[in-house]
Amino acid sequence: MFLFPTKNEQLWEELWLSATKSKQIDNSKKPDQNSELGNEKQNGDNGDEPVKRWDRMAGGFAKRSGSPEALKRKEKILSMLKEAGALKDGAKVLDIGAGPGNWTIPMAELGAVVTALEPSGEMINELKRRIEKSRLDQKKMSSQIDLSNQIDIVQKTWQEVNIETAFKDGLFKDKFDLVFASMTPGISNPETLLKAMKSAKSGGFCYLSTFSGGGWRNAYKEIWREIFDEDIESHGGDFIYPFNYIYALGYRPYVEFNIWEHERAESIEETLETILFFVHGSSDVEPEKKAKLIKYIESKAEDGIFKYKHQICQGVMLWQV
């Protein structure tokens, strides 16, 4: 809902951009002009590295999305979208950072026509496997829904997309009934959020969820401090920034917070990759640090498995443009 702008959107824009400029780069930001990853190549790093890291994490992401707690949260969000009128039969949906299809597939099964935007090739492979499985399941049930006709996959980062550029059936601008962005690095600053809003039709909806009060990055702060005697710096991914920016623009989104305890049990190799993925991002970690981290994980693992729990808080907002 659009009501009264507070006239201080520049303040929140500056705060959000400032929060993204931490010394330790967060892998959740894909390259764009306002992020440190946008300068990777001139810093000597490979600009494709963030996407490659998502490639390596694809299997784990797909596996965790099928847990009972994840499915319960998904049903809650889908019900909210339907009740608000944001997810109707035949609705055109843009899923930014679609990953392995955690949201693309259930929205398509509900009758939406979904453009799944995802830069990671391995994530797309997982999505295609799920589409095929769902298609076969639907065929067994004699369903009229063929997901291969309901889903269009675009392999790009959101930062790369020019919404004025034509794809198969027109432009991204003013096209979608629902622009959906769940826990995605695609929405990393005011520019990417405004672009998402411009992709929605007049009267259409935007959905955004992200970590509130930190995420998995916080899960490892004690480990990092214990091993290296240094703190993990914060980053601009917290819910407070996009919410206050949208509020300042004059929108009054529906807001809720979901809190749950997440437990992981991974091999030593998987744990190392996960910690470096969430903490150190796309920048290389020194060999000495990596060796010290491996030694710590090995010392805490039982039968080669490292277990840990962390409380997650997710901020969710839905608004009409």
Model pLDDT for residues 11-26, shown as the tens digit of each residue: 999 999 988 875 333 3
40 is in which domain, residue-wise?
Answer: 9-215+235-263+314-320
Which tops the pLDDT comparison, 281 or 63? 63
Predicted confidence band at 271 (pLDDT cuts at 50, 70, 90)? confident
Residue 294 lies in a domain: no
Q: Give the per-residue pLDDT at 28.
A: 38
User: In terms of Cα–Cα distance, which of 127, 125, 87, 123 is closest to 107?
Assistant: 87
Give pTM, 2 decimals: 0.81
Which tops the pLDDT comparison, 274 or 267? 267
Both structure tokens of 40 = 């990777």
Report the distance separating Cα 237 and Cα 212, nearest Å: 8
Residue 268 lies in a domain: no
201 Cβ contact partners less than 8 Å away, ≥ 6 residues apart: 174, 175, 176, 177
- Indicate whether 207 pLDDT > 90: yes
Mean pLDDT over the full length of the chain: 82
Q: Give the per-residue pLDDT at 23.
A: 39
Q: What is the CATH number of the domain that holds 73?
A: 3.40.50.150
Q: What percent of the chain has pLDDT over 90?
A: 48
What is the separation of C-alpha 100 from the centre of its chain, rounded to a whole number of angstroms?
Answer: 11
DSSP 8-state class, residue 161: -
Residue 141 lies in a domain: yes
The tens digit of pLDDT for each residue in 59-82 reads 666 666 667 778 889 999 999 999
Mean pLDDT of 244-268: 91
Residue 162 lies in a domain: yes
HEC string of 87-145 equals CCCCCEEEEECCCCCCCHHHHHHCCCEEEEECCCHHHHHHHHHHHHHHHHHHHHCCCCC
Q: What percent of the chain has pLDDT over 70?
A: 79
The tens digit of pLDDT for each residue in 148-200 reads 889 999 999 999 998 887 555 557 888 999 999 999 989 999 999 999 999 99
In degrees and rounded to multiples of 5, residue 306 shows phi and psi of -100, 120
Residue 128 lies in a domain: yes
In the chain, which ranges are continuous DSSP H helix?
Answer: 9-19, 49-64, 68-84, 104-109, 121-140, 147-150, 190-199, 216-219, 221-228, 240-249, 268-275, 287-300
Report the distance separating Cα 235 and Cα 282, nearest Å: 14
User: In terms of Cα–Cα distance, which of 86, 99, 112 is closest to 183?
Assistant: 99
Which tops the pLDDT comparison, 282 or 181? 181
Q: Give the per-residue pLDDT at 104.
A: 96
- Indicate whether 41 pLDDT > 50: no
CB 179 within 8 A of CB 205: yes
Instruction: Give the count of domains, the chain.
Output: 1
Residue 309 lies in a domain: no
Residue 225 lies in a domain: no
Mean pLDDT of 86-115: 95
Residue 275 lies in a domain: no
